[in-house]
A and B are shown apart, each in its own frame.
Chain A
Amino acid sequence: QKEVEQNSGPLSVPEGAIASLNCTYSDRGSQSFFWYRQYSGKSPELIMFIYSNGDKEDGRFTAQLNKASQYVSLLIRDSQPSDSATYLCAFGRNDMRFGAGTRLTVKP
């Protein structure tokens, strides 16, 4: 059974701070890991994906993957109020499985 666990939050950070979101997964065979952002009342949208151990950076976002520890994280640097949303991690090859999400609030 594939499972994804996320830190439940909610997480609140001040504007300009680094927000750290974490996720663990159960399927050692998984190759790709995804972070989606979901604004209230909207559908999820992809932030980034990672499939190699280490860090992957895209603007203010950095995904970190540690396959040995079955751990993936998302760092948001210089957090903005517009980053306030629920962040979902997901993994899977054919049948994508999602975590419950972490709600992030960035306070001005």
Chain B
Amino acid sequence: DADVTQTPRNRITKTGKRIMLECSQTKGHDRMYWYRQDPGLGLRLIYYSFDVKDINKGEISDGYSVSRQAQAKFSLSLESAIPNQTALYFCATSPEGGANVLTFGAGSRLTVL
């Protein structure tokens, strides 16, 4: 099984729908992140969390919310999806301390029509 698991891997939805992307990890890492990737723009940080009670906004948090349900679970929600949220979303984890090396999930491709 993958160390960082994202579900769903692919999702097509309509404008205005609520969408949740889920991430779970078996790495035992405290830190978890959500990024989105768009062609030509690289990875942009949406939210990150250093433990269950810690949530921090990243570069592009507007239109998104997150929930850290447990050390191993970090969910990203789009309350009312819009077409420009069509992107590839990555969850990542890293251990506390050290060089902050990220381990990524396989990605969730979201299309908003």
B residues less than 8 Å from A98 (CB atoms): 35, 42-44
Known: A98-B42, A98-B43. A92 touches B105 (CB 8 A): no
- Does B74 reach chain A (CB closer than 8 Å)? no
Instruction: Decide if B42 touches A100 in the complex (CB within 8 Å).
Output: yes
Known: A94-B48, A95-B45, A97-B59. A32 touches B100 (CB 8 A): yes
Distance in angstroms from B30 CB to nearest chain A CB is: 12
Residue of A nearest to B104 (CB): A43
Q: Among A42, A46, A96, A101, point to the contact of B33 (Cβ < 8 A).
A: A96
From DSSP, what is the main secondary structure of chain A's interface residues?
loop
Known: A32-B99, A43-B105, A96-B100. A88 touches B43 (CB 8 A): yes
Q: Mark A26-50, 1 if CB is under 8 A from B, else 0.
A: 0000001010100000111110010
Residue of A nearest to B48 (CB): A95
Q: Among B35, B59, B104, point to the contact of A45 (Cβ < 8 A).
A: B104
- Does A60 reach chain B (CB closer than 8 Å)? no
B residues less than 8 Å from A4 (CB atoms): 42
A residues less than 8 Å from B43 (CB atoms): 44, 88, 90, 98
Q: Among B40, B45, B105, B106, point to the contact of A96 (Cβ < 8 A).
A: B45
B residues less than 8 Å from A88 (CB atoms): 42-43
Which B positions have Cβ atoms within 8 angstroms of A? Answer: 33, 35, 40-45, 48, 50, 56, 58-59, 90, 94, 99-102, 104-107
